[in-house]
Amino acid sequence: MTAIIFDMDGVILESEPLHDDAARDVYESHGFGKGEELDEFLNNFRGSTDVDFWSFIIEHYNLDTPLKDFLQWKEESFLKLISERTIELMDGLCNVFEEIQDKPLALASSSSYSAINAIVDGLDIRDNFNVIVSGEDVEHGKPEPDIFLLAAKKLQVEPAECFVIEDSRNGVRAANAAGMKSIGFYGSPSNKQDLSEAAVTIHHFRELTSVLSD
């Protein structure tokens, strides 16, 4: 049996710019500085949880604002952007879902359930997944393997039976640490990540079928 675990942001849809805009909005609208100050850090935290990112920002800038405030502000800003903008499946993914519908599929995202639900329901893809797991479900975010191991457990498959499709270096490292076969996905136009540690890389979902059959 081969199970497939999908990351969400940058894999299912091109949502990384929305997350970045939401983070900049939070930082600037609450008077901490120019939103662009975060740009040098955002790429380094691709695939990580908001807890990891904002904990770093609080420490780096020596802020005394509670972490929970940043998390709430970021979620509110992101959900507002999702409601205002058109979201679409990554090119070719609709065909992929049809081709692999007989396989166990999981969505494992570092995002909150509120963000996941807004995207999954907005794209009408909930029925494509047997399991959906959030970064809220695990103690340690990517690059630790916790979220992928939990997804495999919920799918009732062994980690070695799983492929993981990831667009971030942290995500690839997490998949590798879980003992799964990592597929680095370069299909997101905004992706500037180094995915060289992935077992294999693809640039479009049309390449996925051949990778899964190897």
Domain ranges of the chain: 3-13+88-213, 16-84
What pLDDT was estimated at residue 40?
A: 87
pLDDT, position 66: 97
CATH topology (fold) of 3-13+88-213? Rossmann fold (3.40.50)
Q: How much is the mean pLDDT over the chain?
A: 94
For position 114, what pLDDT does the model report?
A: 92
The pTM of this model reads 0.87
Pure H helices in the chain: 16-29, 39-42, 50-60, 67-84, 93-99, 113-123, 146-155, 169-177, 208-213
For the segment 57-97, what is each residue's pLDDT rounded down to a tens digit? 999 999 999 999 999 999 999 999 999 988 999 999 999 99
- pLDDT bucket at 125, cuts 50 / 70 / 90: very high
CA–CA distance from 176 to each of 78, 172, 182 (Å)?
Answer: 29, 6, 6
Residue 46 binned pLDDT confidence (cut-offs 50, 70, 90): confident
Per-residue pLDDT, averaged over 140-158, amounts to 96
Return the pLDDT at 16.
83
